[in-house]
Amino acid sequence: MKITVNGTPTDVQGTNLAEILIELGHADGKLATAVNEEFVPAAARETLSLAPGDRVEIVAPRQGG
Amino acid sequence: MPEFYGTTIESAMMLGTAQYPSPAVLAEAFRRSGAGIATVSVRREAGGDRAGQDFWNMVRDLGVAVLPNTAGSHSVREAVTTAKMARELFDTPWIKLEVIGNADTLQPDPFRLVEAARILSEDGFQVFPYCTEDLVLCEHLLEAGCKVLMPWGAPIGTGLGLNNIYGLRSLRAHFPDVPLVVDAGLGAPSHAAQAMEMGYDAVLLNTAVAKAGDPAAMAEAFAHAVRAGAMAYAADPIEPRDMAAPSTPLIGKAFLA
């Protein structure tokens, strides 16, 4: 299905957020996630099914002021 | 030593982690600053990218407390979601809450800031609000659950120093027991000393150090200024006066006229 990942339209095979993270190369990173502008805790990724058009944000630690 | 939400920090200097010429310079700047808190952010990570992990490893090695921010947020929802992602990533209830209201001045949106602060405080966050020096706004932030206030000195990145001395002094006088941090706008160590001489508990800076010609030396210069200002405040400075008063005694002066 087609979803948006960090602002980029992306085709994915997986159906839940945990599967999609692995599919996109995020298997073991220090990451946090949001779907459709709502935070999704790490523990909830496996049970969160995505639908076409969903907007996924994947973030990591970065420099900040 | 400032205390934020029950945690005592050994240094009154808080330092950002952005804009340094290299990670090595960043680490050296932190070492020479003696800063006890590092601000960090969360940003998008592409698959297979190790940037986030590498940065996190480096910050952990600094051995300081981490204060994540919600920089770049313009709406309450954006700030709240960013804060929740930061809490999970950095495993801390601390959040430097930024809700920007104007793209040119990067000044906080006071209305959305209070709303976001209330939502996050009720959710267990310990909020460090980046705010203006407006007294009434600060009262609302405290009422919303904040136990620290971080008024700006000047707009982020400008280096203009303390633009409203009266407003900052008023905050100190009105909230003698609330930890106050001047956040943003500092350019020179004298600005940091001035904030500390007014009784502020800490300063938070980034650009003034990171964009200096020699960031590590500037970090140390700020550290000296922060210590000097804090020591001066504790030593109870004299009140300014308009009329001159001789410091050398007149008694015993030879009559030579």
pLDDT at B242 over 90: yes
Q: Inform me whether the pLDDT recorded for A27 exceeds 90.
A: no
What is the least distance, in Å, from the CA of A5 to any CA of chain B? 9
CB neighbour list of residue B13: distance below 8 Å, 6 or more residues apart: B33, B34, B35, B36, B192, B202, B203, B205, B222, B223, B226
Separation between Cα atoms, residue B230 and residue B221, nearest integer Å: 14
Identify the residue whose tokens are 């310990």: B126
Can you tell me the ipTM of this complex? 0.95
Give residue ranges of B with CB < 8 Å to any A CB: 16-20, 39-53, 55-56, 59, 68-69, 71, 77-78, 81, 84-86, 88-90, 156, 184, 206-207
B110: pLDDT strictly greater than 90 = yes
Contact B47 A64 (CB under 8 A): no
Instruction: Give yes or no for a contact between B99 and B108, defined as CB atoms under 8 angstroms apart.
Output: yes
Interface test with A, best of B88, B100, B120, B123 (most A CBs within 10 A): B88
Report percent pLDDT > 90 for chain B. Answer: 93
Chain B CB contacts of A61 below 8 Å? 40-42, 52-53, 55-56, 59, 89-90
Q: How confident is the model at residue B238 (pLDDT cuts 50, 70, 90)?
A: very high
Q: What percent of chain B has pLDDT over 70?
A: 100
pLDDT in tens, B42-75: 999 988 888 899 999 999 999 999 999 999 999 9
Q: What is the mean pLDDT of chain B?
A: 96
End-to-end, the C-alpha distance of chain A in Å comes to 38
Structure tokens at A52: 């076409």
Catalytic residues of B: 96
The whole-angstrom distance between B86's CA and the closest CA on chain A is: 7
Global confidence as pTM: 0.94
Q: Retrieve residue A39's tokens.
A: 């935070």
How much is the pLDDT for B168?
98
**pLDDT of the residue at A40:** 97
Q: Please, are residues A27 and A58 in contact by the beta-carbon 8 Å criterion?
A: no
pLDDT in tens, A32-57: 999 999 999 999 999 999 999 999 99
Q: Could you give the angle at which helices B165-174 and B135-143 cross, rounded to 10 degrees?
A: 40
Whole-number pLDDT of residue B49: 84
The two beta strands, B37-44 and B13-16, are parallel
Q: Is 90 exceeded by the pLDDT of residue A29?
A: no
Length of chain B: 257
